Amino acid sequence: MFGRDSQTAEEFKEAVTKLMVIGGKPNLVNYFPFLRILDPQGVSRDVIKYMGIVFGLLDRSVEARLQRRKEGRTEHSDAKAKDFLDILLDYRSESGERFTKKDIIPFLYDLLIAGTETNSSTIEWTIAEAIRNPRIMKKAQAELEEVVGKDRRVEESDIDRLPYLHAVVREVFRLHPPVPLLLPHGAESRCEVAGYMIPKDTQVLVNAWAIGRDPTIWDEPSEFKPERFVESELEYRGQNFELIPSGAGRRICPGLPLAHRMVHVVIASLLHSFNWSLPDGITADNMDMTEKFGITLQRGSPLIAVPSPRLPAHLFNDQYH
């Protein structure tokens, strides 16, 4: 939808990042509703500004696609090359109704917001932890070599055969859950949880970040130790409340099956194709591992990592021919 190097993609990412940070800020208005009109921290003002940017960019992309389709210039006329936007535009209900731009744009907004920072922060934290723990990087690479070899690139069908990589990802979700407080939930009725009475309509925030670091659940909770998951059945699909990076129950992340595949394929591919190191002057001991809390858990400063290829050159070139 947005080209990989396009300015639009940059603008989109910047606005989404801003929205994630604003969304995670405590807003005084929630505690003192009479301040709403004053918007003392400028939260509403900023949300309106950045949502406006994102909606504007989506609107331009959808318009451009509609125009190209009208002129028959679309590379997506071939059924196999159709993307999600084409599928939404082609859709007709049984009574012949189609989605309008008003339906499509908020829908794309939801999916892009929910699926952008979450995946990218998981990948960024994994590579950061792999660099800080060379033993773990080597062990994951050894597994990749055994399963994939060095004569081809990783494919989606490989990921179910990479148990150590899966343990690494679960450890990243435990220590750096991409959505640290999940999304706000509301109590539909008065209920009791762990001895606490929760009145009806209370807004409930579940601290998945703190659960992941709870010393009564985890041995050495601040250590990055994927081995704790190697022989473990503990999964992040909402069945085990010790590890709930995607939530649980009816509101569990609907993008989880997609996220599971994307995160594993990208991380496997990055570790299989490259060795990763830090730029001059930064060491594993002094690299910034601070966390910036918002709706998503971003790194305090973006990871700067230096790749060096591990595979024969033709495997990198092939992709671009």
> What is the contact surface with ligand HEM in residues (CB under 6 A)?
110-111, 114-115, 118-119, 122, 178-179, 182-183, 245-247, 251-255, 258-259, 263
CB closest to ligand HEM, residue no = 255
- Min CB(184)–ligand HEM separation in Å: 8
CB nearer to ligand HEM: give 89 or 259.
259
Which residues, in sequence order, are CB contacts of 259 under 8 Å at separation 6+? 115, 118, 119, 122, 246, 253
Nearest-CA neighbor of 160 among 63, 246, 252, 265? 265
With helix as H, strand as E and coil as C, how does the chain read? CCCCCCHHHHHHHHHHHHHHHHHHCCCHHHHCHHHCCCCCCCHHHHHHHHHHHHHHHHHHHHHHHHHHHHCCCCCCCCHHHCCHHHHHHHCCCCCCCCCCHHHHHHHHHHHHHHHHHHHHHHHHHHHHHHHHCHHHHHHHHHHHHHHHCCCCCCCHHHHHHCHHHHHHHHHHHHHCCCCCCCCCEECCCCEEECCEEECCCCEECCCHHHHHCCCCCCCCCCCCCHHHHCCCCCCCCCCCCCCCCCCCHHHCCCCHHHHHHHHHHHHHHHHHHEEEECCCCCCCCCCCCCEEECCCEEECCCCCCEEEECCCHHHHHHCCC
- Min CB(177)–ligand HEM separation in Å: 7
- Min CB(145)–ligand HEM separation in Å: 26
- Min CB(30)–ligand HEM separation in Å: 17
- Min CB(264)–ligand HEM separation in Å: 10
CB nearer to ligand HEM: give 107 or 276.
107
Which residues are 299's β-sheet partners? Answer: 291
- Min CB(268)–ligand HEM separation in Å: 15
CB nearer to ligand HEM: give 2 or 311.
2
User: Is there a contact between 123 and 262 (Cβ–Cβ < 8 Å)?
Assistant: no
- Min CB(265)–ligand HEM separation in Å: 12
CB nearer to ligand HEM: give 149 or 254.
254
- The answer on whether 191 is annotated among ligand-binding residues is no
CB nearer to ligand HEM: give 120 or 133.
120
CB nearer to ligand HEM: give 122 or 133.
122
CB nearer to ligand HEM: give 189 or 308.
189
Binding residues for heme: 253
Binding residues: 253
